[in-house]
Amino acid sequence: MIFAEDLNLKALGRSALRKACLDAAWGSFLDILRHVCWKRGVYFAKVNANGTSQICPHCGTNCGKKSLSQRVHSCSNCGYTTDRDVAAAQVVKERGLSAVGQVVPMHALG
Ligand SMILES: [Zn+2]
């Protein structure tokens, strides 16, 4: 099961992040990823990317915007601390699972 942030590509394209996104367009990457998932029978879904870098994956508290230089998520509510990208990925996964309405154990994903 794969969940990916459905990023706003036009907004990204206008921003300074454009160079960081390289020429491997995120949209094409998602298309390839979706195809690979389909071939392998893996569930794939895009989820709302709003605030994934602000929400604590542990307790759901909105910890506010992080600057790009701030690499660590540290929750002011529960104290959960991890890499910001790891935290965002966990939020994406949680959103994906709640959208699907079921929790699939990791060992069942093959
Ligand atoms: Zn928290």
pLDDT given at position 9: 57
One domain, residues 69 and 87: yes
Residues of the chain with pLDDT under 50: 23, 103, 106, 109-110
Separation of CA 73 and ligand 1 centre (Å): 9
One domain, residues 39 and 54: no
Separation of CA 56 and ligand 1 centre (Å): 5
One domain, residues 66 and 86: yes
One domain, residues 41 and 14: yes
Separation of CA 91 and ligand 1 centre (Å): 11
One domain, residues 34 and 12: yes
One domain, residues 7 and 42: yes
Round to the nearest angstrom and report the end-to-end CA distance of the chain: 9
Tens of pLDDT, residue by residue over 22-50, are 545 667 778 888 888 888 888 788 888 88
One domain, residues 39 and 64: no
Range of the domain at 3: 1-47
pLDDT given at position 50: 85
One domain, residues 75 and 107: yes
Separation of CA 63 and ligand 1 centre (Å): 8
